[in-house]
Amino acid sequence: MTQFIRHYLLSLQFFTRIPITGRLSDWVGYSPAMLRASAGHFPGVGVLVGGLVAAATAGLLMSLPATGSAPLVAAALGTVLSVFITGAFHEDGLADVADGLGGSLDRQRALDIMKDSRVGAFGAITVVLALLSKVTLLGLLGDVSGPLMVVALFVAHVVSRTWPLLTIRLLPHVGNTATSKSKPLADQISLGALVIGLLWCFMALALAVYGQMATDFIAIDLETDSLLLAFANGLLASLVAWGLMTRWFWRRLQGFTGDCLGATQQVCELAFYLGLAVSL
């Protein structure tokens, strides 16, 4: 259990701006092997980030005037909070992937562009469109039901951080492992770490389903079976998005980089919201 907690806190250090400093940081420790093992807690990071964003969004929905614009405002401010918590870590990966794969058809040139800290036109446009799509889709879900929007936020943050673990498992790391922040992730994720990640995801999904069924939290004109089917379709859309992204990385790069993992998280999160919205 001590090792489990240390790996989780190390994952929070790597993937968020949540301060793990001082004596706590000394207790957690660090080694490349620990960071590699902490990758299995990526969905667990989604539990915390998604939980904080969902709670803040629920508070905003209760505090804002009950008008048609309230869900859109809550969605925008909730998105701001998620970017603040993660330090735009995943959005930065999305921008780099868009610049690299959009800026050159040559594999090596694309990798070089992705390593450049500057953001180009492809990256800027992609991030703007991704954030705009996220806010509007969440606003649409909020128009259907505020509680539905809150639950969708929580689930999407966890699910979208689960699929990248499969990318690590299936594809080789092709970044510059001498300088890449994701160097410890270059080796294939262990089966044990993958199981931990899947357990995080399963627990989050079970919590969301149980909460809805036990408290009738989502008050919309839908039978429970129909609502669960809608969430299942959101999961399916997210899975399809992961498959397309993975295929794209294999065809263009013959592997993945750390930026590819961030881009996959962003696209899979968007796909979940879209699949859920279309189903409803």
From first to last of its 280 residues, the chain has per-residue pLDDT tens of 788 889 899 989 889 898 888 888 888 887 777 888 888 999 999 999 999 999 999 999 999 998 888 999 999 999 999 999 999 999 999 999 999 999 888 999 999 999 888 888 999 999 999 999 999 999 999 998 888 899 999 999 999 999 999 999 999 988 765 555 555 655 678 888 899 999 999 999 888 877 666 555 555 555 666 778 889 999 999 999 999 999 999 999 999 998 999 999 999 999 999 999 999 8
Give the burial string for 168-203 (b: 16+ CB within 10 Å, else e): beebebbbeeeebebbbbbeebeeebbebbeebbee
Neighbours of 232 (CB within 10 A): 14
Whole-number pLDDT of residue 223? 61
Whole-number pLDDT of residue 25? 82
Whole-number pLDDT of residue 179? 56
Residue 256 pairs with which residues in a beta bridge?
A: 173
From CA 253, how far away is CA 98, in angstroms rounded?
13
Domains: count for the chain: 1
**pLDDT tens, residue by residue, 121-162:** 999 999 999 999 999 999 999 998 888 899 999 999 999 999
Contact 157, 201 (CB under 8 A): no
From CA 36, how far away is CA 46, in angstroms rounded?
17
Residue 173 pairs with which residues in a beta bridge?
A: 256
Contact 10, 38 (CB under 8 A): yes
* Domain hosting residue 265, numbered range: 2-279
Whole-number pLDDT of residue 38? 87
